């Protein structure tokens, strides 16, 4: 299995632009998680889906952030408009079962907002 696949690996864009991060979970996994990692705040859970349905989005920092999962093999995290404080590494992870099962992380997207 190829594992969780994220794209792009790196994104540099100017403040105010729309940013879209993409994730393909491991085939057969029914949970998908989006995390943000910064030095100051560590690894934060933003939102997670079960069978393509958003279950908990309480970690989404503000309305500028949105996430979708149109099918079992694809999810997006969108930031519009982007701000410099959104600069971070964004990880997608998937699991077979909820948090009490091992999560498999993608390689992350390093986002820099200038």
Partner 1 sequence: GENVEQHPSTLSVQEGDSAVIKCTYSDSASNYFPWYKQELGKRPQLIIDIRSNVGEKKDQRIAVTLNKTAKHFSLHITETQPEDSAVYFCAAYSTLTFGKGTMLLVSP
Where do contacts with partner 1 occur on this chain (CB under 8 A)?
A: 33, 42-43, 45, 56, 91, 98-108
| CB 95, min distance to partner 1, A | 9
- Are 82 and 65 in contact by the 8 Å Cβ rule? The answer is no
Which of residues 25 and 108 has its CB atom nearest to partner 1 in the complex? 108
- Are 95 and 25 in contact by the 8 Å Cβ rule? The answer is no
Which of residues 50 and 64 has its CB atom nearest to partner 1 in the complex? 50
CA distance 16 to 84: 9
Element (H, E) at 74: strand 74-79
What is the three-class DSSP state of 17?
coil
| CB 6, min distance to partner 1, A | 9
| CB 41, min distance to partner 1, A | 9
């Amino acid at each position: 299995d190829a594992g969780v696949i994220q794209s792009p690996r790196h994104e540099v864009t100017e403040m105010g632009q729309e940013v879209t991060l993409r994730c393909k979970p491991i085939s057969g996994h029914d949970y998908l998680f989006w995390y943000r990692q910064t030095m100051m705040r560590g690894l934060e859970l933003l939102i997670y889906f079960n069978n393509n349905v958003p279950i908990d989005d309480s970690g989404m920092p503000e309305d500028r952030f949105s996430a979708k999962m149109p099918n079992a093999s694809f999810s997006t995290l969108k930031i519009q408009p982007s701000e410099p404080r959104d600069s971070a590494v964004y990880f997608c992870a998937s699991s077979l079962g909820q948090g009490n099962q091992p999560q498999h992380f993608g390689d992350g997207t390093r986002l820099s907002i200038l």
